[in-house]
């Protein structure tokens, strides 16, 4: 399923189940868990806790969430930096709002996977600090659309690379053994 159709299907299912998060927020949360190095089945419990007060999700929503998780995990483990944020493709203001919600939930998932996150230093610590600052940025609908779109694309790329940086930092990589 393409990124856009998964976004649309999940948003529709989240609304029909009266779940108070968006697809972007859910993807941010899952991305944070994965980037924080959590790759076991406990992600399901964390998602159930965050989205549904600890109760298991309805089957259709659970399937879509699992699909989103697997897609995200695959992208983060890809050596070609294929990871992309799942956010709206609608108007620029909706994309910006989705990105801010995505970042907030990413930081939540990352914090759950890495409880000592506040003590992280160096490039990763700086990047996490930057993410917190990005969520404070605002815009005015009267701002120059072209400039705003350019700034959004720049920030979106920075966020994407920060996720990959965190994933590389917190995920144990087993070296491949090549036999000659």
Q: Which domains does the chain have, with CATH numbers?
A: 3-170 (1.20.120.740)
Run of H or E residues at 173: none
What are the φ and ψ backbone dihedral angles of 140, each rounded to 5 degrees? -120, 135
For 7-35, write each residue's pLDDT tens digit.
Answer: 999 999 999 999 999 999 999 999 999 99
* pTM (two decimals): 0.91
For 61-78, write each residue's pLDDT tens digit.
Answer: 999 999 999 999 999 998
Two tokens, residue 113: 């996977």
Q: If you search the block for the tokens 């989103």, which residue do you land on?
A: 68
Q: In the chain, count H helices and then E strands.
A: 7, 0
CA-to-CA distance for 45 and 110, rounded, in angstroms? 15
CA torsion sign for 57, 62, 68, 72 is positive
User: In this model, does residue 52 exceed pLDDT 50?
Assistant: yes
For residues 101 and 22, the answer to whether their CB atoms sit within 8 Å is: yes
């Amino acid at each position: 399923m393409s990124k856009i159709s998964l976004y649309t299907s999940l948003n529709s299912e989240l609304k029909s189940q009266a779940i108070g998060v968006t697809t972007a927020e859910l993807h941010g949360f899952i991305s944070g868990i994965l980037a924080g190095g959590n790759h076991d089945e406990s992600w399901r419990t964390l998602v159930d806790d965050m989205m549904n007060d600890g109760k298991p999700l309805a089957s259709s929503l659970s399937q879509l969430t699992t699909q989103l998780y697997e897609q995200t995990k695959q992208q983060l483990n890809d050596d070609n930096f294929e990871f992309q944020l799942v956010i709206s493709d609608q108007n620029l203001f909706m994309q910006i709002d989705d990105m801010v919600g995505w970042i907030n939930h990413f930081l939540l998932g990352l914090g759950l996977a890495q409880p000592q996150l506040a003590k992280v230093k160096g490039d990763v610590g700086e990047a996490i600090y930057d993410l917190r600052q990005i969520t404070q940025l605002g815009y005015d609908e009267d701002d120059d659309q072209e400039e705003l779109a350019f700034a959004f694309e720049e920030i979106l790329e920075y966020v994407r690379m920060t996720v990959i940086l965190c994933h590389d930092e917190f995920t144990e990589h087993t070296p491949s053994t090549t036999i000659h």
